[in-house]
Amino acid sequence: MSTAPSRRSEKARQAILEAAFGLCVERGLAATTIEAIAARAGVAKTTIYRWWPSKAAILLEVVEVRRSADGGYPDTGDIMADLATQTANVTRLFETELGAIWRGLIAAAQTEDIAAEGVRRILRGAIDECVARLAKARDAGQIREDLDLEIAVELIYGPIYHTWLLGTRAMSPPFMDSVLDALRPSLQPPPSCGVGPPPVAG
Amino acid sequence: MSTAPSRRSEKARQAILEAAFGLCVERGLAATTIEAIAARAGVAKTTIYRWWPSKAAILLEVVEVRRSADGGYPDTGDIMADLATQTANVTRLFETELGAIWRGLIAAAQTEDIAAEGVRRILRGAIDECVARLAKARDAGQIREDLDLEIAVELIYGPIYHTWLLGTRAMSPPFMDSVLDALRPSLQPPPSCGVGPPPVAG
Amino acid sequence: MSTAPSRRSEKARQAILEAAFGLCVERGLAATTIEAIAARAGVAKTTIYRWWPSKAAILLEVVEVRRSADGGYPDTGDIMADLATQTANVTRLFETELGAIWRGLIAAAQTEDIAAEGVRRILRGAIDECVARLAKARDAGQIREDLDLEIAVELIYGPIYHTWLLGTRAMSPPFMDSVLDALRPSLQPPPSCGVGPPPVAG
Amino acid sequence: MSTAPSRRSEKARQAILEAAFGLCVERGLAATTIEAIAARAGVAKTTIYRWWPSKAAILLEVVEVRRSADGGYPDTGDIMADLATQTANVTRLFETELGAIWRGLIAAAQTEDIAAEGVRRILRGAIDECVARLAKARDAGQIREDLDLEIAVELIYGPIYHTWLLGTRAMSPPFMDSVLDALRPSLQPPPSCGVGPPPVAG
DNA sequence: TCCTAAACGAGACGGTACGTCCTGTCTTAGT
DNA sequence: ACTAAGACAGGACGTACCGTCTCGTTTAGGA
């Protein structure tokens, strides 16, 4: 979220990212103003406007920095278990401070192009990771051959975002278990009808 | 979205709803201000604040009024066909002016309680209709017995909202076909393994 | 400096004029900002911008209000004495707080049309008063018949403003006495050359 | 308006003076910023701040450079004619681009010490020239013996600046003729009452 | 039919934040 | 060593809306 012509003050950048994060945690992204970020960071407004085109851009950078500390997609060899782990991680993350910011960015993305692009970019990375894991699982015979993996990602994460963003229900861990259980027939290869080994067992 | 003590001017109410709708169509909900609505409606700001607590409340009323003109959930007896019809309707609606407003309301709902409640209220109705249709289909043996129907709704609409709100892909009709195809094993009863016809006649 | 549609808050107007005056006294017109005026007056910036087009306009109103408390041009019957009195008053006024503001307005008038018009308007009144007094003196035979009275005003006040604005010398009372003394031959009717009564004595 | 430690880039100095002059001509001194001067001169702001303490200082240097191209005070032997010539030159100059800059510097001088000192310095030279010419005229019997020549300068230039800076009237050549005509009795020696020719031959 | 209380239009008000502009200082590279 | 370039903290600008608050002026019902 910025070009970096070496002349730039890294100290100011850090202060801005931290101030923005702190303010969003305290009052939410929508109630966080650029003036307040500048004030808390001990920085001039101009310094912010010089490097970021909007409030959303700052927070996108915050999210990216923090997200890059993640490990990759879980891989125990058992795709259903890994999906359960990962979706549980996601739902847990959504309840944290970072989740609140992410929610605000998604809201902003409905209006601002900058936010929309940023959100898409971040999601693209996450989706690609998930698709890669699913591809590996498919090679291991754990996922139906005929399933478009991008669609699979929508099936898995669609219900999470639907629930989370629209507040149609509480987003408890049992909920995600139910979703994955329900999706199992769509994800896994069909049973070979009595004879032959069960789908997962080696 | 208002008490209605008979003294209220119906003319003003209509003018406000129309002005609000028109402005949102032209510039989006976020860029629509109460001052602009008042100006276009030829109404005092006070009149708006008297009857609606926020911009979102006005638009929620607009959406409800327009939505009430809908027919109910399609019911041809074939649940998969009806789901295809209905999801196609929804995705088509999302591309219209009303869809843009709905998108703005969902964004507002991430921040404002009023918007959140309104969105939930409207969605509740839609979900209940869908659940009712699914229940009927289950009774007709078209839906797995062990499927929680509220979860089923999430499986079906989650991908739509995920795609639409997060912009992860274009939201074409073939996309929804793929989603429903992929979901088929999870929605329909399992084949009876050899005996009896397969679920989709062929 | 403002239309007055009765809805206007007289309290705010007074507070603004007083705050503006006070701040100009303390830091000078140039260093007085509209934000500071608003803050000191306990008023929103918008309220100032609603009624005055610029800082200069506010101070022009201050000057006019205060100036209207003046008595008219002195008139003892002796024009030279009255000119001495009046120019002494003016030079004294120039050293006061109001004088400092007037100086600032004249500076502003070199740039802004609003200030220029206001300054001209105020000066027009003062000049007209002086011309009227001179006309009366001319009728009394104390001023040369062939002297254009508007020019006379320039002769009298030109040196005052020249000295004051350009800082070419200290502007002491003796200075103005010298100026008036030097101007005497230009203002008064020529002596009737030995025979006849002296110019002023009845 | 600068120390000159030999290391200084004469090219930069010229570029700055020209840029400053050009910008003042185009938009006026008040609207000319140091940033704009630096940009047009192709020079860093630092370079300007190193050598001049303020915008006014730059323009004072511009004015002094251009003014030094003047010839001295006119001297035909006839003081009234020379005054007419010189005041006409001045009023003509005031309408030029340099006049506009001079006007801006006088405005600045009401606020800034640097500008005030510069304006005084420049005026001091002009006044001294005029006083010298008047002294010569007095020796030639063309100016009253008892007239303080510094006061005489105020009488002559006061009306010009009064008119020019305060905009009380158009500053046409006939205006200056009227002023000098009106001042004649104050400047010239009194007629010797009967014997000898009247001051203006006729 | 009149009276009265509400709802209404109009818009001033105190505020907050916006994004821009310029100030004068400072830091970093490049001659 | 001086320069060009430009980042930086600071602060005022004038604008746009916010939501609240009088103002008279309709206007609709109950007396």
B89-109 confidence digits (pLDDT tens): 999 999 999 999 999 999 999
C167 touches chain D (CB under 8 A): yes
Structure tokens at C198: 């002296």
State pLDDT tens for residues C3-42.
Answer: 445 789 999 999 999 999 999 999 999 999 999 999 999 9
Q: Chain B 107-136, CB below 8 Å of chain A: which residues?
A: 107-111, 116, 119-120, 123-124, 127
Q: A144 beta carbon < 7 A from strand F?
A: no
Smallest CA–CA distance from C106 into chain D, residue? D166
Of A68, A54, A159, the closest CA to residue A109 belongs to A54
Residues A77-90: what's their mean pLDDT? 96
**How many angstroms separate the CA of residue A5 from the nearest CA in chain B?**
32
* Rounded Cα gap, residues C85 and C96, in angstroms: 17
Residues D165-173: what's their mean pLDDT? 89
Cβ pair C187, C152 in contact under 8 A: yes
Is the CB of B154 less than 8 angstroms away from the CB of A166? no
Distances (CA, A) of A175 to C2, D67, D118: 66, 87, 80
Residue C1 has what pLDDT? 42
Residue B171 has what pLDDT? 85
Structure tokens at A166: 């629209």
Residue B67 has what pLDDT? 86
Is the CB of C154 less than 8 angstroms away from the CB of D168? yes
Using pLDDT thresholds of 50, 70 and 90, give the confidence band for residue D193.
Answer: low
State pLDDT tens for residues A40-70.
Answer: 999 999 999 999 999 999 999 999 999 887 7
Residue C186 has what pLDDT? 97
**Residues near C143 by beta carbon (within 8 Å), at least 6 away in sequence:** C79, C134, C137, C149, C152, C187, C188, C189
Please tell me whether residue B95 adopts helix, strand or coil conformation.
Answer: coil
Q: Which residues of D touch C185 (CB under 8 A)?
A: 185-186, 190
- Residue B78 pLDDT exceeds 50: yes
Identify the helix (H) or strand (E) that includes residue B182. Answer: helix B173-187
Q: How far is CA D86 from the centre of its chain?
A: 11
- Residue D198 pLDDT exceeds 70: no
* Rounded Cα gap, residues A33 and A24, in angstroms: 9
Q: Which residues of B touch A151 (CB under 8 A)?
A: 159, 178-179, 182
- Residue B68 pLDDT exceeds 70: yes
Q: To 10 degrees, the CA torsion angle through D143, D149, D151, D152?
A: 40
Residues D89-115: what's their mean pLDDT? 95
Q: Which has more confidence, B179 or A171?
A: B179
Q: How far is CA C61 from the centre of its chain?
A: 14
Which of chain F's bases lie under 7 Å from a protein CB?
A: 1-24, 28-29
Q: How many residues are there in chain B?
A: 202
Smallest CA–CA distance from B113 into chain A, residue? A167
- Residue B71 pLDDT exceeds 90: no
* Maximal CA-CA distance, chain A: 72
Q: How large a percentage of chain B has pLDDT more than 70? A: 92
Residue B37, CA: closest nucleotide via C1'? F17
Smallest CA–CA distance from C187 into chain D, residue? D182
What's the CA C116/C1' E18 distance, rounded, in angstroms? 32
B103 touches chain A (CB under 8 A): yes
> Which of the residue ranges B41-45, C66-70, D13-17 would you say has the lowest mean pLDDT?
C66-70
* Rounded Cα gap, residues D62 and D102, in angstroms: 10
What's the CA D119/C1' F14 distance, rounded, in angstroms? 33
Secondary structure letter of residue D111 according to DSSP: T
Q: Which of A152, A162, A190 sits opposite B154 (nearest CB)?
A: A162
Domains for chain B: give ranges and CATH numbers.
10-52 (1.10.10.60), 70-187 (1.10.357.10)
- Residue A1 pLDDT exceeds 60: no
In window 44-103 of A, residues with CB < 7 A from nucleic chain E are 45-46, 49, 54-55
Please tell me whether residue B112 adopts helix, strand or coil conformation.
Answer: coil
User: What are the b/e assignments for A70-83, b being 16+ CB within 10 Å?
Assistant: eeebbeeeebbebb
Residues A152-180: what's their mean pLDDT? 94
Q: Locate tokens 């400047």: which residue?
A: D187
Secondary structure (DSSP) of A41-94: HT--HHHHHHH-SSHHHHHHHHHHHHHTTS-----SS-HHHHHHHHHHHHHHHH
* Rounded Cα gap, residues A146 and A85, in angstroms: 24
In window 42-81 of B, residues with CB < 7 A from nucleic chain E are 42-47, 50-51
Residue C4 has what pLDDT? 45
State pLDDT tens for residues B1-22.
Answer: 444 457 889 999 999 999 999 9
Structure tokens at C47: 């309220």
- Rounded to the nearest integer, the mean pLDDT of chain C is 91
* Rounded Cα gap, residues D60 and D58, in angstroms: 5
Secondary structure letter of residue D149 according to DSSP: H
Q: C2 beta carbon < 7 A from strand E?
A: no
C149 touches chain D (CB under 8 A): no
Of C96, C115, C95, the closest CA to residue C106 belongs to C115
Q: Which residues of D touch C147 (CB under 8 A)?
A: 182
Residue B64 has what pLDDT? 94
Q: Locate tokens 């003062």: which residue?
A: C126
Residue D43, CA: closest nucleotide via C1'? F4
